Amino acid sequence: MFKKLEDVIKFIKENDVKMIDIKFTDMFGKLYHITIPSKNFSLKTIKEGIGYDGSSIGFKEVESGDMCALPDITTGRIDPFWDTPTLSFMCNSVEADTKQMYHKDPRTVAQKAERYLINSGIADEAFFGPEFEFYIFDRVSIENEPCSTSFRIVCEESISAREKGEVPTPGHKMVHKQGYHQSPPLDALYNLRSKIVEEIEKFGISVHYHHHEVGAPGQSEIEISLRPLCEVADATMAIKYIVRNMAEKLGKTATFMPKPLFMEAGNGMHVHQFLSKNGKNLFYDEKGDYANLSKLALYYIGGILKHGRALTAFTNPSTNSFKRLVPGYEAPVNLFFSLANRSAAIRIPKYAIDPQDKRIEYRPPDFTCNIYYCLAALLMAGIDGIENKIDPGKENFGPYDIDIFNAPDKIKKKITPLPTSLEESLAALEKDHEFLLRGDVFTRDLIESWKEIKLEGEVRAMKNRPHPYEFQLYYGV
């Protein structure tokens, strides 16, 4: 939107902007913000940033917590949810004194991955496009106390809420796991989704479409156009912000949690991607042996699948992630590729036949990821595949154009499975992370910190807590 500071100052005056909101993310992809009056926004703000305590969001220790958020003026957009006219910027977190880039800052990692791609000479841009799956509920109550652990979800589309009289409703009910592309009146969220899409488009993000997803009580999907890595990561943060705030504004609540409901479809983040050089899509080859994919594209696929188990530590970094990655749903559990096969980890969209549309879709990720780390890790794995000419066919990664769940055992035995837990994925990262360190994109310190925090704060924390279902199983033993 803006290229120069003068453009920003002019916009502030012409649009009577009162506040400037500085947004940045922590290691886990959580969004934070600081707000300053617009009269205080200047060249100094851009060069020196706004100071904050990095120890409070997990970046640093208390004794060395000072950091600064440097606004990127190209990301400037009016925030639609403020009563006071407010201009919002995404930021990089930097060292407070030297203003040097901070190696754990997610946006910095994404930018380093983009530079590494350019320096490799392979391509000059990596395009990505996440699919946004989320649930919209009416009410959610959560309790985690020593003598009480529970959650309760109320959704106007759920059969249980209607039968219990928790929501006023006529007789129409959506059948369990049958929400995909349902039309009104079964789809009760179409107006809300349209309002969300309106705000997303006002934010300068092009939307392909929106629709009801498989999950009967409240699951929705929005798909956007592909964009360069860091740009689409910023857009992802904006879209999650818009979805949550618009739902809240209209009296509902939205979640991107991978598996909020037992026996319903989970929320994935299927990531479409391709590489480009001088405006040409490098994944297309009219004479390609499979699905018009170039050799480069196949090597890229080989890299992602070769490192797929380690990648889950960044693409699916929560204990809840692995409640979605289970057999019996569309979420993949095996590392192979295929044309139009939704049980594959990498699907080649059959409808993407134009040379400029040729792409792959990596299906395991979910939105508990830090989008900057996730996309950077995928790109680094793909580059490794290209540089080392990892042939997916020779590595038993396919293509397998079959229903893998009903495949013969001799084929199943050849295929590498995804990890089945966060702990297993972190162990895979421990064994396989050298590809992430190239070009100093990820650092050893970042990876070690990631593993330690995830193990202590999530894996062990979950293991130590009694689960309500355990009471059903064992209380009367």
Question: Which residues are annotated as catalytic?
Answer: 53, 131, 133, 213, 221, 270, 342, 361, 363
Q: In degrees, to the nearest 5, what angle opens at C-alpha 427 toward C-alphas 423 and 433?
A: 130
Residue 356 pairs in a beta bridge with: none
What is the spatial distance between Cα 41 and Cα 50, in angstroms, rounded to a whole number?
A: 10
For residue 311, the surrounding DSSP H or E stretch is helix 308-315
Which residue type is seen at 166? E
Preceding peptide of 185 cis, ω within 30°: yes
Q: Which residues of 297-329 are buried (b: 16+ CB within 10 A; e: fewer)?
A: bbbbbbbbbbbbbbbbbbbbbbbbbbbbbeeeb
Paired tokens of 31? 């969004």
Q: Which residues of 376-396 are buried (b: 16+ CB within 10 A; e: fewer)?
A: bbbbbbbbbbbeeebebeebe
CB 149 within 8 A of CB 470: no
What is the spatial distance between Cα 61 and Cα 119, in angstroms, rounded to a whole number?
A: 34
- DSSP reduced 3-state for 284: strand
- DSSP reduced 3-state for 297: helix
How far from 9 is each of 35, 46, 76, 289, CA to CA, in Å?
16, 12, 12, 54
